[in-house]
């Protein structure tokens, strides 16, 4: 069984858990994801790996309560167990195979939006440990929704905080901060954006405007994690790709974000109704 060794609420709706999964931890690489099933009758939930420790045999997941299934994960307590933790799945980040000379020549900048900040952490950590220069720009609507700021500061060269309401750091979007840094003469070699779909869309447009390559992570399109259900279909460069097995990372210039955003909202009404029923059930003590 996959025991929850540590649980911490990062915000009222975002939970971080350290889970015992030795075989997964031994094979995990930045950019990959897991499938978590909270109980025997639970839905399969894809979650990007937020950290891993092969020696301790643990993986870290960060889950935002959006629908019933994600809420069931966050409802669990320390010492509870998940029915399944399957992985690592998906392709590892391209930079994992870089040579030492390549790492030394790179200057990555990560644009992290909301809960997307969590999967940025193992990527920034890996790059920094291998000699690359790493900057991270974290964005959230307000200060109380920021996560991983202290952890990220330890694994990057420069950390920039952005809030929509100006409650902390730069008053504005992560894309505006990126433009400011480039205008000041910072020479980035690669942009990586992980966060809400609309944020990655505009991050890609901004990177293109600045002449910078960009990678985005489409883990939010996944359902079964194997590509068989077809829910992860996405148009990339005019071709249908499957985010589960061919991603989750793709060239941001080539992703049809408008199509992906429409598909992501397809079951919004049903998900809202199911979540309302779940909250009522919890309120009645199940």
DSSP letters, the chain, are -EEEEEEEESSSSEEEEEEE-HHHHHH--TT-EEEEESSTTPPPEEEE--EEETTTTEEEEEEE--SHHHHHHHH--TT-EESEEEEEESPPPGGGG--HHHHHH-EEEEEEEGGGHHHHHHHHHHHHHTT-EEEEEEEESSGGG--SHHHHHTSSSEEEEEETTSSSSEES-HHHHHHHHHHTT---SEEEEES-HHHHHHHHHHHHHHT--EEEE-GGG-SSSSSSS-TTEEEETTEEEEHHHH-SEEETTTB-HHHHHHHHTTTHHHHHHHHHHHHHHHHTT-
- Which structure tokens are listed for 133? 């220069």
What confidence tier does 265 reach under pLDDT thresholds 50, 70, 90?
low
Bridge partners of 63?
15
- Which structure tokens are listed for 24? 């997964």
Question: CA-CA distance, 243 to 39, in Å (whole number)?
Answer: 25
Question: CA-CA distance, 171 to 280, in Å (whole number)?
Answer: 37
pTM, two decimal places: 0.87
Most confident residue range from 111-120, 130-139, 222-231, 257-266: 130-139
What confidence tier does 225 reach under pLDDT thresholds 50, 70, 90?
low
The per-residue pLDDT of the chain, averaged, comes to: 88
- Which structure tokens are listed for 22? 């030795």
- What average pLDDT does the segment 138-158 reach? 95
Q: What is the tens place of the pLDDT at every residue in 88-97?
A: 998 999 999 9
Q: Which of 257, 258, 234 is nearest to 244 (CA)?
A: 234
Return the C-alpha torsion angle 161, 6, 221, 139, nearest 10: -10
Residues whose CB is less than 8 angstroms from the CB of residue 196 and which lie 6 or more positions away in sequence, other chains included:
113, 114, 116
What confidence tier does 229 reach under pLDDT thresholds 50, 70, 90?
low
- For 76, phi and psi rounded to 5 degrees? -70, 155
Question: CA-CA distance, 267 to 159, in Å (whole number)?
Answer: 36
Q: Which domains does the chain have, with CATH numbers?
A: 2-87 (2.40.30.10), 97-216 (3.40.50.80), 218-286 (no CATH)
Q: What is the tens place of the pLDDT at every residue in 9-47?
A: 999 999 999 999 999 999 999 999 999 988 888 788 888
Is residue 269 scored above 80 in pLDDT? no
């Amino acid at each position: 069984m996959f025991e929850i060794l540590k649980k911490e609420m990062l915000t009222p709706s975002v939970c971080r858990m350290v889970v015992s999964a030795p075989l997964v931890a031994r094979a995990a690489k930045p950019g990959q994801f897991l499938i978590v099933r909270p109980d025997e009758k639970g839905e399969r939930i894809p979650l990007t790996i937020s950290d891993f420790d092969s020696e301790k045999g643990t993986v870290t997941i960060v889950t935002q309560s959006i629908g019933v299934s994600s809420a069931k994960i966050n409802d669990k307590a320390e010492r509870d167990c998940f029915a399944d933790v399957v992985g690592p799945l998906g392709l590892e980040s391209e930079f994992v195979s870089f040579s030492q000379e390549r790492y030394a020549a790179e200057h990555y900048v990560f644009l992290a939006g909301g809960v997307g900040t969590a999967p940025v952490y193992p990527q920034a950590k890996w790059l920094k440990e291998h000699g690359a220069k790493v900057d991270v720009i974290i964005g959230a609507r307000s200060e109380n929704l920021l996560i991983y700021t202290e952890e990220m500061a330890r694994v990057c060269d420069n950390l920039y905080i952005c809030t929509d309401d100006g409650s902390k750091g730069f008053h504005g979007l992560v894309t505006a901060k990126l433009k400011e840094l480039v205008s000041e003469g910072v020479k980035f070699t690669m942009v990586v954006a992980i966060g809400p779909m609309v944020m990655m869309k505009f991050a890609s447009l901004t990177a293109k405007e600045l002449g910078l390559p960009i990678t985005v992570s489409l883990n939010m399109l996944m359902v079964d994690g194997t590509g068989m259900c077809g829910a992860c279909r996405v148009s990339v460069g005019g071709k249908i790709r499957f985010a589960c097995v061919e991603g989750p990372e793709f060239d941001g210039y080539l992703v049809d974000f408008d199509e992906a955003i429409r598909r992501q909202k397809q079951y919004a009404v049903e998900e809202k109704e199911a979540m309302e029923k779940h909250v009522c059930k919890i309120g009645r003590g199940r």
